[in-house]
Structure formats: structure tokens, C-alpha cells
Amino acid sequence: MKTWHAKQRGLADLYGNWEESYALLPHYFEAMKTANPGTVVHFVNKSTPSPNVEVFDRVFWAFGLSTKGFKHCRPIITIDGTHLYGKCKGVLLISIGVDANDKIFPLAFVIVDCESIDTWRWFLGSIRHYVTKRDGLCIFSDRHVGIIRAMNEFGGGWKEPHVFHRYYIHYHASNINTKFKSNELKIAFLSTATAT
């Protein structure tokens, strides 16, 4: 434990502590907007009982070149979330496109406190507002309840025929493996699903 505590102190001396890092986020994003023209950053803060004091709630950002370049990408967006570890927990929600060479094309990112209907609704609404209003998109995601509900809400612009929502193949394969306890069936399903 002494070694671990010494390492934590050393990291804090080099990079600052968690609170200082979160306090630097607005400055970091302003520098990012200056260095990347057209970049969109949208902060949402929570008010506190103290007047003139707000606390970070969530942030959305999309690089200017990504929003311009997505017009030339395939009409596919993949969305997912990953948990952040450390003292300040949270979730990083991401959306990526696919370029003409079938390579990953980063679109937009969000840091939120958790995956929920509200956070997915806000993220998808921000993508629709800041990144693309393009019709005929196909959105790939997992089966998270927040994503499904946000996609199916009236007026969000994410329902068919404007957008087609599909699920990742590997989630279906995992479900097959869980239900039938057959790795061979899972492999056969993946081979079939990925055949051209």
C-alpha cells in the first residue's frame, strides 16, 4: 500500500489530482476549439445551493473535421459507452462512422455520469443537432434500454424511415452461446452473419 500511495502522490505531482483535472476541462476544450476550427463543445452544469457555483454534469464534443468529413462517409453510425475508472467515475459515450475504406471515423463524444435514457437522449439529440441531420442512416448499438428508448422517441429524428436501428452481431452471438451453450453454434452464426 505504501508503494501504491507513493505512486498516486507522484502521479498527482506530475499531472494534478482528479479535482484539478476536471477543473481544467473547460480550458482544455477551449484550446481544442482554437486548434480545431469548427469543433463543437457543449457543457451542461448543475447548479448548487451556493449562489454562483455550478458543478460539472456532462460535456459533448465533436471535432470540426469529423462533422465535415462525415458527409463523405458511409451512412453508418456506431454508438457505445465505456466506463471511466479512477476517483471520478463516469461513462464515455462515443459515436463513430465508417469511411469509404471501411476504417473507423470518429464523430462525437460525451462524458456523463451514467448510461441512462436521459444521457442517451441528450447524446443522440446532440449528434442530430451538431453532427448530422442526414436521412437514411443505419445506427448500430447494443441493446441498452436507454438507447432503445431514446431511438424510439417521437420527434427525435431517429425513427424509421429516417434512421434504421440495428444491433451488434456479437451481442446476438453471445446470446446464442448463453442460451444454447454451444460455441460451435456461435461460430456458425458469426460466419453466417459476416458473410458477404
Helix (H, G, I), strand (E, B), or coil: what is residue 138?
strand
Alpha helices in the chain (DSSP H): 2-15, 18-23, 25-35, 64-69, 117-126, 145-152, 169-180, 183-193
Domain ranges of the chain: 19-166
Per-residue pLDDT of the chain (196 residues; tens, 9 = 90+): 999 889 888 888 888 777 777 778 889 999 999 999 999 999 988 888 888 888 888 999 999 999 999 999 999 999 999 998 877 789 999 999 999 898 999 999 999 999 999 999 999 999 999 999 899 999 999 888 999 898 888 777 788 888 998 888 877 777 787 888 888 888 888 888 878 7
Grid cell in block for residue 29: 476544450
**Residues 6 or more apart from 190 whose CB is under 8 A from it?**
169, 170, 173
∠ CA 170-129-159, rounded to 5°: 50
